[in-house]
Amino acid sequence: MRLLAALVLLLGSAQDRRPNVVVILTDDQGWGDLSVHGNTNLATPAVDSLARDGALFERFFVQPVCSPTRAEYLTGRYHLRSGVHDTSSGGERMNLGERTIAEVFKSAGYATGAFGKWHNGAQQPYHPNARGFDEYYGFTSGHWGDYFDALLLDHNGRTVKGKGFLPDEFADRAIDFIGANKDRPFFCYIPFNTPHSPFQVPDRWYRKFADADLKLRDRDPKREDLAKTRAVLAMCENLDWNVGRVLKRLDELNLAKDTIVAYFHDNGPNGARWNGGMKGVKGSTDEGGVRSPLLVRWTGKIPPATRVRPIAGAIDLLPTLADLAGVAIPAGKPLDGISLKSALLGETAPPPDRMILQHWAGRFSVRSQRFRLDTAGKLFELEADPGQDKDVSKEHPEEVARMKKALDQWKSEMPSVKDDRPFTVASRFTPLPARDGIAAGGVKRSNKAPNCSYFTDWTREEGRITWDVEVAAAGRYDVVVYYSCPKEDVGSTVELSFRGSRMEASVQEAHDPPAYGPERDRASRATESVVKDFKPWRMGSIDLPAGRGELTLRALKVARGQVMEVRQLELTRAD
Ligand SMILES: [Ca+2]
């Protein structure tokens, strides 16, 4: 009896060590941008190895753009439920009260870290450190203007400058985190920022593609920008190298058997290029805009070369990874996703009868195991018709009715997207980037897309910049502005005010760095602003009362041509 008890205890303790989890996400890489999916234009041996040594999901779906997919992965729930309805202006934030995958694993004793593009909120308590990640390094915005020695990165809520090529740095940070936590279970999320534009990649990766003859092309080759495709493929090979470095580190630490590695993309390809003949790119609710790889390796547990046939989506990652790891999900809002553990462990059962929904910008589509109902109500059978060329709705009216009903039900459950959430000043340090501000009186954004933009053309006294904020705790706050101002324009007086409290200061020191970014692009950038090495200027301090209001920066006197350019305002509790 005693022997048996000891044996049970021994087995129990061996099982007590929960597996580590590494989740790798890439940005704007299409399903077709991997050699494991048949693309011979490039080689992605490290990513491919996950499919060889583990499982490949045959039909895995995400949303058409970044923030919605990330929110679904993080919460296991459809993005609209968590308040995510946009990729900027605060609409990228998950409501407080959502439970994240990091919180699930943290509650089971895991060390948690995220290294890369967050894109679900910049200020506490929306910041990754407040959503379950002990450690965070990266940028919280949807895109960045330059990937070399990147400016204004966020390390655990502090503003820092990066070093080297950004995806390499994210991998380095993740590798350090894995090493530092090798003796306890860890949950490591690596949301790489590429191949999202700007199309920047070191020569080492670009050389192979500079003049490459690309055999596989978009389904409509005329609309493909080959310079862009070449840059993207080089960026994908760099990503693969970084994935390989993470896997190598796990091997070196002898952790491969103790670590679940999952790999997926956040939306379809950011442009027309080979994607298995599917219709739709990033932003589209068609198959090509939302199909992503999902590769999951757990050496010794998931049989090599497992193929998962049931459809699945980003909403399934939280329940699946928690189930695999044996981690209980704390009580919270109901999940939309399901656990696919049994399919991963090689059990073949008929696929569950379920539908997965896609939504972006007023367009919807519904996917069942066999069909996709598109936003116009046409029905396509994807395996026979990957390009969605033949509408089969007439042949399957009952299927159309079933899918429309599911869509109507889904729509009726989704909260309204009317968003009245202020930006929050809720911690010792709060960054308020130009992205989250509103300009008036002639002040302009450096680019239409707010993400990494700054405010410029502030030439008149009517000019003002406001942030709709809610201050959680009254107190005195130090104010820093990342600014530029040429020598001939210094001398303006500015005022910062909030709910009756104010301070003023004058721009004394010239700082006029050059704009850069596009000269490093391998193909024309999309909507990313140029960047400048803005300088932090300590304007002074201000007493902020608690509550909601407009934090307003305006000029009391414009000395000469312009007041200054503004990239970010930062508030730090002084008391
Ligand atoms: Ca994306």
* Cα–ligand 1 centroid distance for 265 (angstroms): 8
The percentage of the chain sitting over the pLDDT mark of 70, rounded to a whole number, equals 97
Alpha helices per DSSP H over 99-184: 101-107, 166-180
Residue 394 falls in which region: left (phi positive, over 0), alpha (psi -120 to 50) or beta:
alpha
* Spacing, Cα 547 to ligand 1 middle (Å): 34
* Distance from residue 70's CA to the centre of ligand 1 (Å): 9
The predicted model scores a pTM of: 0.96
- Ligand 1 centroid vs 266 CA: distance in angstroms? 5
Minimal CA–CA distance to 568: which of 376, 400, 431?
431
- Give distance in angstroms: CA of 403 to centre of ligand 1: 27
Q: How far is the CA of 212 from the centre of ligand 1 (A)?
A: 25
Strand 363-367, strand 501-506: pairing: unpaired
Q: What's the CA-to-centroid distance between 264 and ligand 1, angstroms?
A: 11
Q: What is the mean pLDDT of residues 223-231?
A: 98
Q: 360-363 long-range CB contacts below 8 Å, 24 or more apart? A: 360/63, 360/64, 360/65, 360/68, 360/283, 360/285, 361/283, 363/284, 363/285
CA of residue 493 to ligand 1 center, whole Å: 40
User: Which segment of 15-19, 135-139, 532-536 scores lowest on mean pLDDT?
Assistant: 15-19
Q: What is the pLDDT of residue 14?
A: 46
Collapsed DSSP state (helix, strand, coil) of residue 309:
coil
Cis peptide before 45 (omega within 30 of 0): no
Spacing, Cα 165 to ligand 1 middle (Å) = 19
Backbone angles phi, psi at 75, to 5 degrees: -110, -15
Rounded mean pLDDT, 311-337:
97
With CA atoms as reference, report the closest residue to 42 among 29, 61, 55: 29
Tell me how far apart the alpha carbons of residues 191 and 209 are, in angstroms, rounded to a whole number: 24
Which residue, among 559, 552, 460, has the nearest Cα to 508 in the 3D structure? 559
Task: Kindly give the distance from the C-alpha atom of residue 257 to the centroid of ligand 1, in angstroms, as a whole number.
Answer: 31
Reported as a single tens digit per residue, the pLDDT across 351-363 is 889 999 999 999 9
**Quick check: 541 and 481 in contact, CB under 8 A?**
no
Distance (Å) from CA 558 to ligand 1 centroid: 40
Q: Is the pLDDT of residue 106 over 80?
A: yes
Tens of pLDDT, residues 44-55: 999 999 999 999
Please give the distance, rounded to the nearest whole angstrom, from the Cα atom of residue 118 to the centre of ligand 1. Answer: 11
**Amino acid (1-letter code) at residue 220:** D
Distance 498 CA to ligand 1 centre (A): 35
**How far apart are the CA of 533 and the centre of ligand 1, in A?**
25
Residue 15 has pLDDT above 90, yes or no: no
Distance from residue 201's CA to the centre of ligand 1 (Å): 17
* Over residues 425-443, mean pLDDT: 97
